[in-house]
Structure 1
């Protein structure tokens, strides 16, 4: 068990990959618009990879020693990824100078954690970024409350097996991929001059409505449609937030800002399930969707207020 726990801790290092990719994209792209288009494509590829991973993993796991084969496949994937990283162009970036004084491993790790906390706190309360980070935190908390509760709702209230839940998630991810593939065209048609607030306002309201539908419906078909709506709305929300972040961030601080922005997801991954479990225990599982809808509504009002300033 200790070996498994250690491996899980080591795997956390993989969470920095998305931040590094985003920073590399902003270094290589000539404009914010080009960066936004690349981010949309990266999101589509992430959705496809997630989709393919669910399907392939579920089939491999059915074989004898299937879990072992799945981990071997993951190792092969990591080796290929290391080779692909070597092909990335080298970009000189202005980093923060670090003290060359030797420090212990634990002390160094604690300093890094403290640095992340200070950077995140500074950005959340700054006049330049407070609205983006606050909306992002509300959205991620609400989303992970939904994510933590939807599977349990399907199992306990709709008697759906794990196998069919996996197929359903796969289908919803296909919808998400489709949204990302048409994102650029939809933005140019419906939001040609929008910095991101209008799209964010519309998307958060749509997601709030989807959460309320999840809380109130007893129909499996309507529940599934609401899950698909959540997936689509979240795709538009992520795009709008990225566009806003790109329009605000200075070149000298983009590394700190982007990494801190991604750290908000980790905060949501902790707070969301914690809130969902607490609320579900007291008021029932469907109540977590209502709390998520409240978070979305607050985020939408912040976006609308900033839009009309």
Structure 2
């Protein structure tokens, strides 16, 4: 079967659309079950911590077992988890489900790796941009629908069931339209692929997947992961107490705060769609990705500075345009750097590790933002994000950038 990226777009969109229906309301659900603010924060950290540890392992497992099988496993576990999340009203159950989802829910990582397997390198920026745009669109629509359904009696339960149904649709699409197509093999990778087929049982596969991670030359990727961390933590700090900051600073209702998030989602989706065009028009000769990263971090730093000093909500929203656009493009650039620098047999491991780096940022950011907010006020988040963006600029200006060999997909 010929590979059609449309199905990857659909699965990625459905994933984030499904999650955005219920996850924004999870803290309210936990409060209704008697959870403290600390326990609510712990549930978020539990998920991020599980993602952090499991990301490289799941990615390595997909290198070994095949993307479709691992993606199907992830989706089946998501369906079961959300059904139980809607059925059982227990704090312990919620925490256990968050842990299970954190371990296995790596759908975005797997879809991006599938794109890397099947799309020629010269077209990956364009396809990755569309993938980012369409998956971001899920977060534009989902919270609005979820907010309305949540007002019904037992609304959270219905949202969990609807989320499970959407994941079930993703199972059908994955099974029918995303079989593991033949991948391009480099001459020096034949023996590696043969060796990877020796592990048979699930336990052996997990052990082998962890062992494969030790075979990667991680020193080759430190600069990519450092930049991903700096971008991730600057974003996570800024958005960690976003609702509270906007409402206190500009005296607006939660409804209007939600609209500001949807607007930023639209900007991010639009930037993703334009990423391929920007790549071809402005950065065709930027083989090391240095210029793209440098320009992106400069725009981020300027945008955070503008947000810090915005006296009105209108100016605040204007500054979010360059911020969300630069973040969307930097996310795509980071993935492209990993894929073009790494081996085809290690893509899942590398993309999974990149996702884990983002989860480290999400673990650290709420603690740092909360601590600084208590000391210096709610507007500190934009200042911290500005400083971290400047660190990214300094890193790019002071380190030698690696230029990867150009690899094209064989047909």
- Fold match (TM-score > 0.5): yes
Partner of 1:188: 280
Matches within 5 A, 1:114-129: 123=218, 126=219, 128-129=220-221
CA contact (8 A) 2:199 2:208 kept: no
TM-score, normalised relative to structure 2: 0.66
Q: CA deviation at 1:43?
A: 0.4
Tell me, in whole angstroms, the C-alpha distance in 2 between the residues paired with 1:138 and 1:102: 35
Partner of 1:265: 358
The answer to whether the aligner puts 1:75 opposite 2:164 as a matched pair is: yes
- Size of the alignment, in residue pairs? 300
Q: CA deviation at 1:277?
A: 1.0
The answer to whether the aligner puts 1:48 opposite 2:137 as a matched pair is: yes
The answer to whether the aligner puts 1:285 opposite 2:374 as a matched pair is: no
CA contact (8 A) 1:197 1:306 kept: no
RMSD over aligned Cα atoms: 2.8
Please give the per-residue CA displacement for 1:152-199, whole angstroms capped at 9, x wherever unaligned.
Answer: 211222222221111121111111111111221122122221232211
CA contact (8 A) 1:116 1:260 kept: no
The answer to whether the aligner puts 1:163 opposite 2:255 as a matched pair is: yes
Partner of 2:93: 3
Partner of 1:249: 342
Please give the per-residue CA displacement for 1:62-117, whole angstroms capped at 9, x wherever unaligned.
Answer: 2333222211210110110111110212146838468678969xxx99x7998799
- The correspondence for 1:136, drawn from 228, 241, 249, is 228
Q: CA deviation at 1:14?
A: 5.1
Matches within 5 A, 1:87-236: 87-91=177-181, 94=193, 96=196, 123=218, 126=219, 128-195=220-287, 196-236=289-329
Answer with 133-142 or 57-66: which moved more.
57-66
Tell me, in whole angstroms, the C-alpha distance in 1 between the residues paired with 2:279 and 2:169: 34
Tell me, in whole angstroms, the C-alpha distance in 2 between the residues paired with 1:113 and 1:155: 46
Partner of 1:85: 174
Answer with 144-153 or 250-259: which moved more.
250-259
SS of match in other structure, 1:182: helix
SS of match in other structure, 2:320: helix
Q: CA deviation at 1:135?
A: 0.9
CA contact (8 A) 2:290 2:401 kept: no
Q: CA deviation at 1:38?
A: 1.8
- The correspondence for 2:395, drawn from 282, 302, 308, is 302
> 1:224 and 1:166, CA in 2 relative to 1: closer, same or farther beyond 3 A?
same
CA contact (8 A) 2:125 2:275 kept: no
CA contact (8 A) 1:198 1:304 kept: no
Partner of 2:107: 17
CA contact (8 A) 2:213 2:349 kept: no
Tell me, in whole angstroms, the C-alpha distance in 1 between the residues paired with 2:211 and 2:302: 38
> 1:221 and 1:20, CA in 2 relative to 1: closer, same or farther beyond 3 A?
same
Please give the per-residue CA displacement for 1:204-248, whole angstroms capped at 9, x wherever unaligned.
Answer: 111111112222223222122222322111012112222222221
Tell me, in whole angstroms, the C-alpha distance in 2 between the residues paired with 1:103 and 1:305: 44
Tell me, in whole angstroms, the C-alpha distance in 2 between the residues paired with 1:113 and 1:169: 38
Partner of 2:146: 57
Answer with 170-179 or 60-69: which moved more.
60-69
